[in-house]
Amino acid sequence: MSTTKHVLITGASSGMGRATSLLLSQNGYRVYAATRTPEALHDIAGNTLIPLALDITDMSSVTNALKSLERVDILINNAGYGLVATVEDVTEAEMLAQFNVNVFGTLRLCKAVIPLMRSQNSGIIINISSFLGRIGLPLFTLYNASKYAIEGITDSLRYELAPFHIRVHSIMPGFFDTNFARDNLVTNPHTFSKHSPYASMVSTLTPVIVEQINRGNAAQEVAEMIMQIITDEHFSAHATVGDKAKKFIPMRKELSDEDFERRVREYYGL
């Protein structure tokens, strides 16, 4: 029987997903790189990196994709995007779409893969969360909430799946220089209107956030942390990576709610 570990990763066409797919495939893993645009991976596809068409918002797409896999030893839930909108302006469709991808997409993949891992009596699930899953920022309320949800899913699944020798972890990246700011930020037009009552906040905060993302850490750092989690069975349940995560998460633990909020206001000029 082959000892090669089989990896399924979502959101694999760019950024952290692409970097992770490439690193694992180069280190002896068979990687099923799942994305809605598998053609974006043709330049790095090979015997150990197989592009896989998969839409995480469609359970039938998830089910059909899983039918083509021999086994899944490692699931990496990486796909996601960020909605930038005030609660006052956000539409019903925008709310549902944000959670459908970031939260329900993760749950769909877990639901489909867990029976396979349970039958193997082993497995690893790694959820790519965000440092914004532990701290809030204005205009990112829905994205924040979706990543807080990922942290809760991770915590609960660790209890559910421990009896079956399935490890569950989350990674909370800070801001990374990927295509996130260019391709994976969706903005609400009312929030970004010059007539919005939130126009001052938008003009103050969003350019800073976009600049921090574009000047952020390299996606390779996340890929290397994923490799560490896979190879170290004693790795922590939740891990931070990137400068902003390493700055804000410890600060959040050390300060009172009021003091932390004051620091964030000062830092971002709110």
Told to judge if 156 belongs to the known catalytic residues of this protein, a careful annotator would answer no
Indicate if 129 belongs to the active site. yes
Q: Which of 29, 143, 148, 198 is catalytic?
A: 143
Q: First-to-last CA distance in the chain?
A: 59
**Looking at beta carbons, which pairs linking 96-100 to residues 24 or more positions away fall under 8 Å?**
98/142, 98/143, 98/146, 99/142, 99/145, 99/146, 99/149, 100/57
Which tokens go with 259?
Answer: 């003091």
Q: Give the residue among 32, 73, 74, 82 at the shortest CA–CA distance from 53.
A: 32
Tokens 């990246």: give the residue.
173
143 in catalytic set: yes
Catalytic residue among 21, 25, 130, 147: 147
Q: Which helix (H) or strand (E) holds 131?
A: none
Q: Which of 129, 130, 170, 196 is catalytic?
A: 129
Sign of the C-alpha dihedral, residues 102, 105, 111, 116?
A: negative
Residues catalogued as catalytic: 129, 143, 147
